[in-house]
Structure formats: C-alpha cells, structure tokens
C-alpha cells in the first residue's frame, strides 16, 4: 500500500531498525489511534515505538513525556482536529521540546491535522468547494517548525484550492502547500521538499502578487488575486522553498531529503 510506503520512508528517516518513534495522537479522540500507529511503525521495522496519551494541557507537564521526546529519533503527530491539537499542546513544554528536537536533527512527521499544525500559521478551518472569497478560511497559530509555508490537507479530494488561495492572500510571503490524501512532502534541511505518494502537492506562490482585493473585500465577496504562481507536483517532483523553484522528477538530482526536517502527509 502506498501509504505504508510513506510511513516506511519516515521510519527510514528516523533511523530504520534503530528508530525510536514517539507518536502524539492528541488530535484524535479515538483511544485506538495511538496503539494503531504503534503497530504500524513496529511492523515497518522501528525498534521502539510509544505514544503520548495527552488529552488535556495538564498532561503536557508530565516529565516522562519530555524524557521520551528527548530520546526519540522520530516524532509523529496523527490526524484529527487541528484546533484540539493546538489548544492542548500550544505554548507547552511538549511543543518547545518538539521544536528543539527538530532543530537538532530529529524527523517530525504529521498527517492531516498533524500536518497542518507544523507551520507557524495554521489553517484552522474554512470552506471546501468554494471560490476564493473573503472569510473562506480561518487561521490559528501552529507549532512553528517552519515559517515559510501554510499547509492544507485532503486537498484535491475536498476541493480546497479556494481556501488555500484565500489563506495565501493574507500574507504573500507564505508558500501555500495543498497536500492530497496518500501523499507526502518530505522537507529537507536545505529547504527543498520532495513529493512522495499517489496524489499531488499543489504549491501556491503569492510572492509575485501584483494585486489583491482581500484588504477591502466584504464578507463572502469573491477575491481578485493577480500574479499568483501555481504548481501541481506529482511523485518525485521537488520544490525549493528558498529559491521558490519547482523541479520535475529527473531534475535537480543534487537535492535530497535528510532526516532532520518536517514531513507533511495525508
């Protein structure tokens, strides 16, 4: 299954047979989510897998959980509700530890809500199947592993281009990433990400925006956004977040992903 191929790649980036993976299932309210991911990563060869049963902010003060993150070679945030994830983890020692471990070279991965929260600015909600209109998207703080992108997920399946365009118009500095299901963006330490999976990653680059009507649009009014650049990238494509350049699968072979950055997937 291609999704297991993505999980397997994460295990490899986390150390393969020596991987020590900590799963954070807080976004999900299902009691089975943590144990399910433990089983998946063990089946894929990880040496040690455990999960943090964090369901309220008080749980984030548990020193044992911080010790587990200290020894982890990979950290995985599951899907669910991104606002549940941000309101429980935001501003806690758990998030501070995740940021420090990632900066030190530990792979951090997330699926669905766990992908959305990785950036400094997070899409908290909004309209699917909509044109870009004022009010189409709501934003909230993420955990800040990167300040270069804003991430949306289940992208093609739920027709979320309109809300990603609206989100990009709020701050043209940000690069919008729309990630399809069964698809991942593996971001390396050089700021280059590679697409893996059966779907696509849509990149919205608003840095060349020449006109935006967002600032004076009325609620629900369609937006005018001129000068946007959009890339639709399948498996093997790479994108340089620093230089803002897309590469076909057979180009730019010198770039590779290394196990000390973010992985965002669905």
| Active-site residue, 5 included | no
Given the residues 119, 134, 169, 181, select the one marked as catalytic: 181
For 136, the 3-state DSSP assignment is coil
- What is the distance between the alpha carbons of residues 32 and 194, in angstroms, rounded to a whole number? 31
Give burial (CB, 10 Å; 0-12/13-18/19+) of 66.
middle
Contact 240, 88 (CB under 8 A): no
Given the residues 28, 116, 119, 154, select the one marked as catalytic: 154
Given the residues 14, 28, 86, 112, select the one marked as catalytic: 112
Strands (E), the chain: 20-24, 48-51, 74-77, 107-111, 121-126, 137-141, 149-153, 175-179, 183-187, 192-197, 201-205, 211-212, 225-226, 229-233, 238-240, 245-247, 262-265
| Active-site residue, 157 included | no
| Active-site residue, 245 included | no
33-41: Cβ within 8 A, 24+ apart: 33/78, 33/80, 34/78, 37/76, 37/78, 40/4, 40/7, 41/7, 41/11, 41/76
Q: Give the residue numbers annotated as catalytic, written as ranges.
A: 112, 154, 181
């Amino acid at each position: 299954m291609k999704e297991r191929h993505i999980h397997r790649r994460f295990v490899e980036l986390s150390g393969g047979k020596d991987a020590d993976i900590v799963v954070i299932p807080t976004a999900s309210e299902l009691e089975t989510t943590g144990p399910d991911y433990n089983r998946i990563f063990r089946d894929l060869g990880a040496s040690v897998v455990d999960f943090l049963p964090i369901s309220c902010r008080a749980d984030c003060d548990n020193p044992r959980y911080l010790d587990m993150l200290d020894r982890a070679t990979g950290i995985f945030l599951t899907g669910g509700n991104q606002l549940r994830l941000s309101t429980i983890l935001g501003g806690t020692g758990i998030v501070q530890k995740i940021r420090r471990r990632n900066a030190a070279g530990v792979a951090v991965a997330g699926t669905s809500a766990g992908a959305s929260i990785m950036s400094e600015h997070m899409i908290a909600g909004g309209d699917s199947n909509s044109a870009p209109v004022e009010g189409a998207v709501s934003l909230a703080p993420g955990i800040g592993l990167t300040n270069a992108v804003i991430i949306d997920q289940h992208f093609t399946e739920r027709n979320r281009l309109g809300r990603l365009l609206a989100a990009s118009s709020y701050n043209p500095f940000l690069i919008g990433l729309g990630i399809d299901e069964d698809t991942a963006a593996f971001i390396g330490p050089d700021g280059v990400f590679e697409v893996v999976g059966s779907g696509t990653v849509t990149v919205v680059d608003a840095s060349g925006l020449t006109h935006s009507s967002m600032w004076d649009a009325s609620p629900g009014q369609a937006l005018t956004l001129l000068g946007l650049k959009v890339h639709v990238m399948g498996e093997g494509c790479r994108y340089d977040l620093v230089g803002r350049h897309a590469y076909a699968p057979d180009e730019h072979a010198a770039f590779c992903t290394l196990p000390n950055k973010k992985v965002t997937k669905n």
